[in-house]
C-alpha cells in the first residue's frame, strides 16, 4: 500500500462526510499523511472541524477560492506549519443551481463566469500558490476531480460540462509548465456519486441508473474507490504520470452505447 509517512498535503473541497475530497483525505491520512483541510465559509467550518477530529494534528483553514487573499493566506499558514507541501487535492466545483437545469443555450453570462471561475480557474490559482512549497520538497503532485460531462453531453450538466472541459485543459497546461520542477498534475474523472454538489444537478438520479445499466461493471462507483485511485496518483508510485485524465467510473467512458 502507498505510504505517505512524512508527507504533507492540502485538501480543498471537503463540505461534509459524503464529499469525495473527504474520502481522499481519509485515504491519504490513513497511509500516514499530515493534512491541511480548508472550508468554504463559516457555514461549513463546523462540519470540517468535526470530521477532522479523526485526523492527526490537522491544519484547518478558511478558503473561498474566489478570494486571492484567502488562497494566499492558506499557503502562508502551510509554509509556517509544514515548511513545504507534497500534494494538493482540488475538489471544488460550483455553478448556480438555475444553470444546472433546462437548456444549455439559456446559460447566463454571470452563471458561465461563476462556474468557470470557481470550478476551473481555482485549479490554476491553487496550483500556482503550491509551487514554491512543492519546489522546497523537490517536487509534488496535484490532482483535480472532473466528470465525463466535459467530453459528452449529459442533460442538465450544462455549463458545468464546459467548466470541466476548461479544468481538464488547465490541468494539461499546468502539467506542461510544472513538469520540469517535478510537479505532476492529473485529473480523476469519477463516475456519478451522490454528494452535495451532485444534488444540485437536476435529474442526477437518472444518471446513476444509466451507469448501473450500461457501465461495463454494471454499477456506480463509491467515493472510497475514487480515493484509492487518488492516493496512487498523489503518491510517488505515480512518479511518471502527469497530464492525464484517469477514469474511475466503472468503465462507462469506454461505451458507445
Q: Are 177 and 224 in contact (CB under 8 A)?
A: no
Catalytic residue among 39, 75, 121, 157: 157
Smallest gap, in angstroms, from Cβ of residue 106 to ligand NAD?
21
Examine the residue annotation and report whether 247 is marked as an active-site residue of this protein: no
Residue closer to ligand NAD (CB basis): 18 or 31: 18
Smallest gap, in angstroms, from Cβ of residue 72 to ligand NAD?
14
What is the Cβ-side half-sphere exposure of residue 8, based on CA atoms within 13 angstroms? 20
d(CA 12, CA 237): 22
Residue closer to ligand NAD (CB basis): 13 or 58: 13
Smallest gap, in angstroms, from Cβ of residue 33 to ligand NAD?
19
d(CA 11, CA 221): 21
Residue closer to ligand NAD (CB basis): 82 or 94: 94
Q: Which residues pair with 10 in a beta bridge?
A: 36, 88
Q: Residue 14 corresponds to which cell in the numbers above?
A: 471537503
Residue closer to ligand NAD (CB basis): 195 or 242: 195
Catalytic residue among 39, 75, 147, 247: 147
Residues that bind ligand NAD (CB under 6 A): 13-15, 19-21, 40, 44, 63-66, 91-94, 118, 145-147, 190, 192-193, 195-198
Q: Residue 88 corresponds to which cell in the numbers above?
A: 494538493
Examine the residue annotation and report whether 173 is marked as an active-site residue of this protein: no
SS3 content of the chain, % helix, strand, coil (to 5): 50, 15, 35
- Sign of the alpha-carbon torsion through 172, 167, 241, 126: positive
Question: Which residues have a catalytic role annotated?
Answer: 147, 157
Amino acid at each position: 500500500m502507498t505510504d505517505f509517512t512524512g508527507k504533507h498535503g492540502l485538501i480543498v473541497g471537503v463540505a461534509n462526510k459524503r464529499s469525495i475530497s473527504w474520502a481522499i483525505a481519509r485515504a491519504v491520512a490513513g497511509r500516514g499523511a499530515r493534512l491541511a483541510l480548508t472550508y468554504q465559509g463559516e457555514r461549513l467550518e463546523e462540519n470540517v472541524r468535526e470530521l477532522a477530529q479523526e485526523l492527526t494534528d490537522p491544519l484547518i483553514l478558511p478558503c473561498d477560492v474566489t478570494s486571492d487573499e484567502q488562497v494566499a493566506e492558506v499557503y502562508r499558514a502551510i509554509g509556517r506549519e509544514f515548511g513545504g507541501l507534497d500534494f494538493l487535492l482540488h475538489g471544488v466545483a460550483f455553478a448556480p443551481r438555475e444553470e444546472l437545469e433546462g437548456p444549455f443555450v439559456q446559460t447566463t453570462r454571470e452563471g458561465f463566469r461563476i462556474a468557470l471561475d470557481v470550478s476551473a480557474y481555482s485549479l490554476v490559482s491553487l496550483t500556482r500558490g503550491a509551487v514554491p512549497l512543492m519546489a522546497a520538497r523537490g517536487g509534488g503532485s496535484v490532482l483535480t476531480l472532473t466528470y465525463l460531462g466535459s467530453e459528452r453531453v449529459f442533460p442538465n450538466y450544462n455549463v458545468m460540462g464546459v467548466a470541466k472541459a476548461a479544468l481538464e485543459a488547465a490541468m494539461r497546461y499546468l502539467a506542461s509548465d510544472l513538469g520540469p520542477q517535478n510537479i505532476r498534475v492529473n485529473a480523476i474523472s469519477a463516475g456519478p456519486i451522490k454528494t452535495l454538489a451532485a444534488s444540485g444537478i437536476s435529474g442526477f438520479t437518472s444518471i446513476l441508473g444509466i451507469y448501473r445499466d450500461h457501465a461495463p461493471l454494471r454499477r456506480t462507483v463509491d467515493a472510497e474507490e475514487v480515493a484509492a485511485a487518488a492516493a496512487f496518483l498523489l503518491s510517488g508510485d505515480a512518479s511518471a504520470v502527469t497530464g492525464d485524465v484517469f477514469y474511475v467510473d466503472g468503465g462507462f467512458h469506454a461505451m458507445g452505447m
